Amino acid sequence: MPPPAPAPLLEGRELDTYYGQSHVLRGVSVRIGAGETIGLMGRNGMGKTTLIRTLVGLVRARRGSVLVDGEDVTRLPTFAIARRGIAYVPEGRGIFASLSVAENLAIAGRGGPASGASWTAARVLELFPRLAERLTNRGDQLSGGEQQMLAIGRALLTNPRLLILDEATEGLAPIIRDEIWKTVALIRSTGMATLVVDKTVAAVTAIADRIVILVKGEVVFEGTPAALKANPELMHRHLGV
């Protein structure tokens, strides 16, 4: 008999999440395998950020479970889930506005795996030369694009196995968006798993192994980018393209 397939790196099973009386996620299941890139898509207000926050423990599911490497972590605090190799760059970027670029990076550093190249401050600054030029600038003195680079760089310094990017390029200038997508592609090439939320259909489908579309807190599509592109009516209805 063939050996059993490895458990997903991160998995949500039949998640029901509420904000007060508002039922936001309705039986959502999602899985992310080691080294896999998932594009999470859908219009505004459909539950994408709530799903991410539920997966990382910032919001508690009323029903369902969250697993890392097959282990139930549903009731664990967020820091305990993060320590299992999950890094989250939130939509608001979450950098420390009063700290310098160097200080923001310094507080995030954590050793990498025993084998393979780990992310260091030097490597992050090589990836984002703009940050190297602004090491003494405070977080609130950076442009939106530079703040996003800092948020991604800080997440990489935790040497995660999975990087979650919520609204990866929202509100950024086109040239900066291109730079962020090149960065995501590079991260993907290192074998790190990524979960990317973004509205740029062409960019997400170009990089993802699988696409998940949420509508009103339910999964209405899960499949390859090719399968999504083969269904233009669904793309138009749920993504507006």
Per-residue pLDDT, 163: 96
Q: Which residues, 6 or more positions from 219, have their beta carbon under 8 angstroms from its beta carbon? A: 28, 29, 30, 212, 213
Q: Which residues, 6 or more positions from 201, have their beta carbon under 8 angstroms from its beta carbon? A: 41, 235, 239, 241
Q: To the nearest 10°, report the CA torsion of 220, 69, 201, 174.
A: 150
Per-residue pLDDT, 241: 64
The DSSP output letter for 67 is E
pTM value is: 0.92
Percent of the chain with pLDDT strictly greater than 70: 95
Query: pLDDT of 86-132, one tens digit each?
Result: 999 988 778 888 999 999 999 877 654 443 558 999 999 999 999 99
CATH homologous superfamily of 1-85+193-241: P-loop containing nucleotide triphosphate hydrolases (3.40.50.300)
Relative orientation angle of helices 144-156 and 174-189, to the nearest 10 degrees: 10
Q: Are 163 and 131 in contact (CB under 8 A)?
A: no
Query: pLDDT of 29-68, one tens digit each?
Result: 999 999 999 999 999 989 999 999 999 999 999 999 999 9
Is beta strand 63-68 parallel, antiparallel or unpaired with respect to 71-72?
A: antiparallel
Q: What mean pLDDT is predicted for residues 211-229?
A: 96
31 beta partners: 11
- Structure tokens of 38? 């998932």
Domain definitions of the chain by residue range: 1-85+193-241
Per-residue pLDDT, 170: 87
- Among all chains, which residue has been given the structure tokens 């509100």? 171
- Structure tokens of 106? 């310094």
- Structure tokens of 212? 């998940």
